[in-house]
Amino acid sequence: MAAANGKHWVMLVAGSKTWDNYRHQADVCHAYQIVHQNGIPDEQIVVMMYDDIANNDHNPTPGKIINNPNGPNVYTGVPKDYTGGDVTPENFLAALKGEPKKNCLKKVLRSGRNDTIFIYLSDHGSTGLFCFPNSTLYAHDLIETIKEMARGNKFSKMVIYMESCHSGSMFTQLPNDIHVYAVTAARGDQSSYACYLDPERNTYLADEFSAFWMYYTESSNLDKVTFRDQFSYLQGNMKNSTPCCFGDETTGKNPISGFLRNTPKVIQESTKAQKLVLTHLTHAHEVSSKILDHKIETETHAGRKQVLIKKRETLHQTKAKIERTVKAISQRCLPASEVEDISGGAFRSGSRMDLLALKTVAEHFRTTCFDWHKEEFQMALSHTHVFARLCAHGVEVERIIEAITAVSSLPTEHHP
């Protein structure tokens, strides 16, 4: 925990935008309410969120965001430290290090050797990457930044919680000797899960991992429980994905209050009384299609229904195109007998990745073939494991880059 004269710093990041991704900003707003009610001052909290949900045209309660059915407004008082186009990996890493970009007057962490840092991120992810609204945070850059901060004595201890698919792949190379402990929503080869499909809002309100860790935090005496205790609770209650922990186990044995202060007793008691029952648990990769299906089912106007059906057909065609493209890239890198083994399934959680090589290849694929930050290509995210496998298989980065470039220049009908 922080030294007697140390401060508690908190960084909360929602990496997505658009109404379909409502839950990520709702998660972060709820996390803010927790640390705020625990007494951490706003000057020690940095919030990054696109802020296109509370006053969205689809919101039946303008100016309000909820994180569970009929729940309280979690948008109240949330600081607007970084919004819109300022929600970027570059600004996140700069704010984390306490080194704002040139001419930037926005809030950053001013942490020092006696301070603790708690980081929570929620969005989409894939093998070795976490998404921001229009760009990507790669595991390589995150791990290098953490190591740089450790060398610079920017904290005494750090805890990171990440809600995203394949989030376990972000921390496989986190050192275990720099007092940093990370907990993820899923293994490196798993999806995370959304929950609470709201029929009025036609979107999901929360995520499974986040709902559980926040419930535990609000219902517990944080002076008496540790992050390892909370991790055991997550392991015992999450039924769809497997939470994982990385880094320094001794940091995980610290009381949670050493980072988040303690939850007021009245809130502990009221939270326990509510219980926690998650509904509509949905594989994160299926969320957009489930929402679209619900729109089609409930749309009564014939013309608008046909537009939605056409959109669904287009998304299916795009998915098939992405799959053909990735397979064609693999075929240019490997013998035919090895292509199916590379393409099938997800990158194994325990496999060793060259993080810089993965970043180089994945970013070339994103900028050359399918930009997964665009709604129609978001499903391309789930295929980055193929590039991780190619790198792990010993295929040179230059060869993969050449294959991506060559396939991207071919007419779609020429893809195998």
Among 76-90, 356-370, 383-397, the range scoring the smallest mean pLDDT is 383-397
Label residue 389 by pLDDT band (50, 70, 90). Answer: confident
Label residue 347 by pLDDT band (50, 70, 90). Answer: very low
Residue 335 pLDDT: 83
| 165 is known as an active-site residue | yes
Q: Which residues contact 327 (CB under 8 A, 6 or more apart)?
A: 339, 343, 415, 416
Chain centre distance of CA 296: 28
Among 123-127, 316-320, 343-347, the range scoring the smallest mean pLDDT is 343-347
Q: Tell me how many helices (H) and strands (E) the chain has.
A: 14, 12
Q: H or E stretch including 269?
A: helix 265-274
Among the listed residues 29, 131, 165, 391, the single catalytic one is 165
Query: For 352-376, how does the pLDDT look when each residue is reduced to its tens digit (9 = 90+)?
Result: 678 999 999 999 999 999 999 988 8
Of 46, 57, 45, nearest to 19 by C-alpha is 57
For residues 111-136, average pLDDT:
96
In SS3 terms, 82-108 reads as ECHHHCCHHHHHHHHHCCCCCCCCCCC
Label residue 349 by pLDDT band (50, 70, 90). Answer: very low
Helix (H, G, I), strand (E, B) or coil at 16: coil
Would you say the pTM of this structure is higher than 0.85?
A: yes
Q: If you ran DSSP here, which 8-state letter would residue 197 be given?
A: E
Q: If you ran DSSP here, which 8-state letter would residue 199 be given?
A: T
Residue 385 pLDDT: 87
Q: If you ran DSSP here, which 8-state letter would residue 255 be given?
A: B
Burial class (CB in 10 A: 0-12, 13-18, 19+), 307: exposed
| 29 is known as an active-site residue | no
Among the listed residues 8, 24, 30, 124, the single catalytic one is 124
Label residue 2 by pLDDT band (50, 70, 90). Answer: low
Query: Percent of the chain having pLDDT more than 90?
Result: 84
